[in-house]
Amino acid sequence: MNKRLTMVGISLLVIAIIYSACAAPAPAPAAAPTPAESAAAAPAAEQPAAPAAQAGSRLDLVKSRGKLICGVNNQVPGFGNVDASGNYSGFDVDFCKAVAAAVLGDANAVEYRYASGNDRFTLVSSGEVDVLFRNSTWTLTRDSAEVGMEFMPVNFYDGQGMMVRKDSGITSLEDMDGATICVQSGTTTELNLADVFRAKGLDFTPVVFEDNDKTYSAYDEGRCDGFTTDKSGLVATQTKLSNPNDHMILEETMSKEPLAGAVFQGDPVWADAVRWVVNGLIQAEESGVTSQNVSEMMGSADPTVKRLLGVEGEMGAKLGLPNDFMVQVITQVGNYGEIYDRNLGPNTPFNLPRGLNALWTQGGILYAPPFR
Ligand SMILES: N[C@@H](CCC(=O)N[C@@H](CS)C(=O)NCC(=O)O)C(=O)O
């Protein structure tokens, strides 16, 4: 009897618990306003202070050093190149300059360090370079803790291509069964080549080199039927071949290569500072702010332009940068479109169409999150 009563009691208790769990609303969280609500409710003077740069961030290190150490290419014309006098130029090099202008107010306060295909990420993770701008593809593995990169917004959407001799008779990858292909080590190029040829059931022999000069030279000497890398790299490198017009780039795009700057994981203050310089370059183009009109645009009534140029909103301070950081960048380096045109546009030997790298408002996919 007692036992039966106990069983009934337990059953009732279980039912009660289940009922209360199902019926009772989940405990309401404390009535904390969302950040958006609190921002809207609090008068401007009571807004939380912009967080200062965390002590120990690379942002402080770069400021105290007085120069930015930037990992770049030195043999890819248009992207990262060095001339006989040691002057660096190129699309990626200009992003180094933009970061130096933002952080230090001087686009020339950059020490360039050659970053090879094989050692580029180690240079970042060991802290030997502050940032890498070297046609590096944002991939899952590189982004993960295994490699430890924190990728910046994509600054060039690319894809892998294949260069062949015009007189080879090759017009598509399908014609390359059994081909010998020159390719660089430590790159996504090497991995995609294997994936694409395997998927198509084509045999090939890779001939692998550690840098671009060695890779294209071997192709130029006739040691390979094809030379593969990012299409941007092919266009750039074609200008270095003995007879550029004897070669062509096949139509096919073998992969997605979103190229982006990278910093080391775990330093969000530094990552945010660099990230918003890249975003700022894109926004400046969208807002029509150029190196030529930036002073005039400081008087613009457009709220986005005001915040972009530090006339309103303390955007720089939130990042540990001067509020006029984008004025420095745009005055000294230009906006994204100016950087693109200077290095890759119609008045350069490359004449690369903007394609995906046009603004989202002009048929491309470049899109900066809001400056607010
Ligand atoms: N985007 C690819 C390929 C980048 C790459 O290394 N491309 C070659 C060919 S253009 C290059 O930049 N070589 C320059 C060098 O090794 O000095 C990646 O991130 O792995």
DSSP letters for 197-253: HHHTT--EEEEEESSHHHHHHHHHTTS-SEEEEEHHHHHHHHTTSSSGGGEEE-S--
Residue 189 CB–ligand 1 contact under 6 Å: yes
Residue 211 CB–ligand 1 contact under 6 Å: yes
User: Which one of 255, 284, 305 terminates a domain?
Assistant: 255
How many whole angstroms from 92 Cα to the centroid of ligand 1?
Answer: 12
Q: Same structural domain for residues 202 and 85?
A: no
For atom 11 of ligand 1, the residue with the nearest CA is: 212
Domain-located, residue 262: yes
Q: What is the mean pLDDT of residues 291-313?
A: 98
Q: Same structural domain for residues 170 and 313?
A: no
Inter-axis angle of helices 212-220 and 231-238, to 10 degrees?
Answer: 60
Helix ranges restricted to H, 117-187: 120-125, 140-143
pLDDT in tens, 29-71: 333 333 333 333 333 333 344 444 445 999 999 999 999 999 9
Predicted confidence (pLDDT) at residue 11 exceeds the cutoff of 50: no
Give the domain CATH number at 72: 3.40.190.10
pLDDT band, residue 26 (cuts 50/70/90):
very low
* Segments forming the whole domain that contains residue 357: 58-158+258-362
Q: Same structural domain for residues 274 and 211?
A: no
How many whole angstroms from 134 Cα to the centroid of ligand 1?
Answer: 8
Residue 220 CB–ligand 1 contact under 6 Å: no
Domain-located, residue 9: no
User: Which one of 208, 231, 255 terminates a domain?
Assistant: 255
Residue 279 CB–ligand 1 contact under 6 Å: no
Q: Same structural domain for residues 145 and 274?
A: yes
pLDDT band, residue 279 (cuts 50/70/90):
very high
| Nearest of 305, 234, 249 to residue 76 by alpha carbon | 234
CA dihedral 100, 102, 107, 113 (to 10 degrees): 20
Per-residue model confidence (pLDDT) at position 42: 36
The number of folded domains in the chain is 2
Domain-located, residue 17: no
Q: Same structural domain for residues 196 and 340?
A: no
For atom 14 of ligand 1, the residue with the nearest CA is: 212
Q: Same structural domain for residues 179 and 266?
A: no
For atom 16 of ligand 1, the residue with the nearest CA is: 211
Q: What is the mean pLDDT of residues 181-199?
A: 98
pLDDT band, residue 341 (cuts 50/70/90):
very high
Per-residue model confidence (pLDDT) at position 55: 57
Domain-located, residue 20: no
Residue 232 CB–ligand 1 contact under 6 Å: no
How many whole angstroms from 63 Cα to the centroid of ligand 1?
Answer: 30
